[in-house]
Amino acid sequence: MYFRSQEKKSVCADVIPYFEDGEFRLFYLKDYRDIANYGEGCPWCLLKTKDLVNYTDCGPVLLRGSEDEQDLYVFTGCTTKFNDEYYVFYTGHNPHLRSKGLPEQKILLAKGKSLEELNKVKDFVFEAPDWMEMHDFRDPFVFFDDETGKYCMLLAGRVKSDLPSDMRGTTMIAYSDDLMHWEVSREPFYAPREYFTHECPDLFKMGEWWYLVFSEFTDKISTTYRMSKSIRGPWITPKVNTFDGHAFYAAKSASDGKRRILFGWNPIKNDEQDDKPWQWGGTIITHEIVQEKDGTLYVRCPDEVSAAYSKQTKITQSMTIGNVKRDTNGVLIGKNGSKSLVMFDELPQNCKITMKFVTTDDIGDLGIILRESNGFANRYEVRLEPAHNRLCFDKQPRKNNCEHINIDIERYCPIEKDKENTITLIVEGSVLEVYVNDRVAMGARMFDFAKGRWGLYAKDTTVKFYDLSLCE
């Protein structure tokens, strides 16, 4: 249901979505991770999907340049259509140019009558003005502004100043009358003095609200958003301003006219091992964006992705520890002062787990055990901590069990006692995506343990789990 390049030693990075004729067209950056065999550089490839489940990979459509050219790496951009012709603005990145005193990044252009046949416009080059840092000028997002009657381009940039390096990130805006000639405004579109840079800007309107989406690696390493009643701000930071954790990055969105889908990537780790650092690029993940009455946003699993897991699998209990009571509808686990659990048979490699639960108090922990083996020595845990309003992903054994702070992923997730809650887990190989109450999403990776049992547990609390379902 999620897409990763099938070519060995390659991953999918930033997605540039475009919707037309009932189909999502998804450009994505392809990183080969194998320069010796595939050469250096990164092209744009094209995916097509009508259902967010089945994808047609059209391969590279915007080719990387040579080591001497600006677009050795064809980095993030956008697609717009004007007079029946596609304008594809993209970032030309070449790290070798820095040593020559030239900008690593410039904005370039390709055009075509179809998205499969694009031609680079050789005489189009748009680079940072001298009052901006020349090596960080990327990720164009183009739209037409009805108020000014001009085309606008949002850019991830950095303005020269005396501010600390991690406070100079800025979303800049440039204007054009014809899509060919651009001028950057000295007045930034958004400059909060919070981040090193605002990568992959995205802008859209839902109802009365405008939303600015960007990704940052300074604070939480996440895709975040701001909201405003006006396209010119001021931009408000909501209490929960991220869509997922740091295993979901560089997300951009597209609407099919009825809903808005957010496309990002769940990163791999070095050597695909749990304890290694996160890397750039991985597997494409989709969320559906939903708007609350107060204008704030949350994400849920798209219906098509959920429905793709339709083969019901019998859930067979294999063991219990502590206070566990089964009935025809579910299982009651735990009490204050101890930990209890129930284990089921081996978890399929690709599956969806859904259930409802009610906790009787706001202390203790509860959660789902994944891929348990070796007498509980090896396992992953999706853990809910109501007292701390926290959803997190954990692993045992940790790299160092004395490192109590070594939690891989965590999300803000309020859970009220005595109220029904829902949780959905989607597992695809090493990829895990968790949804709580169709409001909170958390992605993770499970590399080290490829198989094992699954189960439920409660610690220092009593939890009723019911309507359990396992589908492949």
What whole-number percentage of the chain has pLDDT above 90?
90
Strand order in the sheet with 324-326: 324-326, 330-333, 463-471, 350-359, 421-428, 431-436, 440-445
Domain boundary among 241, 272, 307: 307
403: pLDDT strictly greater than 70: no
Whether residue 298 sits in one domain with residue 412: no
| Alpha-carbon span 219 to 315, nearest angstrom | 41
404: pLDDT strictly greater than 70: no
Q: Is the peptide bond before 201 cis (omega within 30 degrees of 0)?
A: no
| Alpha-carbon span 298 to 304, nearest angstrom | 18
What whole-number percentage of the chain has pLDDT above 70?
98
**Single pTM value for the model:** 0.96
CB 415 within 8 A of CB 359: yes
Q: pLDDT by residue (tens digit) across 1-12?
A: 899 988 878 899
For residue 358, the model assigns a pLDDT of: 96
Residue 438 in any domain: the answer is yes
At 287, the amino acid letter reads H
Whether residue 299 sits in one domain with residue 202: yes
**E strand intervals along 160-248:** 169-176, 183-184, 199-206, 209-216, 222-228
Whether residue 141 sits in one domain with residue 39: yes
Residue 6 in any domain: the answer is no
> Which CATH number characterizes residue 350's domain?
2.60.120.560
Q: pLDDT by residue (tens digit) across 337-351?
A: 899 999 999 999 999
Whether residue 278 sits in one domain with residue 402: no
Which is nearest to 351 in space by CA: 407, 431, 284, 417?
Answer: 431
| Alpha-carbon span 370 to 347, nearest angstrom | 7
pLDDT band at 212 (very low <50, low <70, confident <90, very high): very high
For residue 153, the model assigns a pLDDT of: 98
Q: Number of C-alpha atoms within 13 angstroms, CB side, residue 302? A: 21
For residue 85, the model assigns a pLDDT of: 97
Q: pLDDT by residue (tens digit) across 247-286?
A: 999 999 999 999 999 999 999 999 999 999 999 999 999 9
399: pLDDT strictly greater than 90: no
For residue 225, the model assigns a pLDDT of: 98
Whether residue 384 sits in one domain with residue 292: no
For residue 9, the model assigns a pLDDT of: 80
Give 279: exposed, middle or buried? Use CB within 10 Å, 0-12, 13-18, 19+: middle
Whether residue 234 sits in one domain with residue 325: no
Q: pLDDT by residue (tens digit) across 73-119?
A: 999 999 999 999 999 999 999 999 999 999 999 999 999 999 999 99
CB 370 within 8 A of CB 434: no
Mean pLDDT for the stretch of residues 9-35: 94
Mean pLDDT for the stretch of residues 390-395: 95
For residue 402, the model assigns a pLDDT of: 56
Residue 5 in any domain: the answer is no
Whether residue 340 sits in one domain with residue 293: no
For residue 401, the model assigns a pLDDT of: 61
Please provide the size of the chain in residues.
472
Give 178: exposed, middle or buried? Use CB within 10 Å, 0-12, 13-18, 19+: exposed
> Which CATH number characterizes residue 292's domain?
2.115.10.20
Whether residue 381 sits in one domain with residue 277: no
Contacting residues for 377 by C-beta, under 8 A, at least 6 apart: 396, 397
Residue 312 in any domain: the answer is no
Return the residue matching tokens 């391969």: 59
Domain boundary among 271, 289, 307: 307
Q: How distant, in Å, are the alpha carbons of 113, 154, 176, 191 from that of 173?
A: 27, 5, 10, 11
Q: Give ∠ CA 140-15-299 in degrees, rounded to 5.
A: 105
Whether residue 259 sits in one domain with residue 141: yes
Going by their DSSP bridges, the two strands 378-385 and 390-396 should be labelled as antiparallel
Residue 2 in any domain: the answer is no
Mean pLDDT for the stretch of residues 172-199: 96
Residue 78 in any domain: the answer is yes
Segment 321-325 long-range contacts (CB within 8 Å, at least 24 positions apart): 323/462
Residue 422 in any domain: the answer is yes
Domain boundary among 274, 307, 340: 307
Mean pLDDT for the stretch of residues 21-47: 94
Tally of structural domains, the chain: 2
pLDDT band at 405 (very low <50, low <70, confident <90, very high): low
Whether residue 185 sits in one domain with residue 135: yes
Full residue range of the structural domain in which residue 31 is found: 11-307
Whether residue 266 sits in one domain with residue 398: no
For residue 146, the model assigns a pLDDT of: 92
Mean pLDDT for the stretch of residues 212-224: 93
For residue 406, the model assigns a pLDDT of: 62
Give me the torsion for CA of 143, 146, 148, 153, rounded to 10°: 0
**Mean pLDDT over the full length of the chain:** 95
Residue 120 in any domain: the answer is yes
Whether residue 372 sits in one domain with residue 245: no
Mean pLDDT for the stretch of residues 150-170: 95
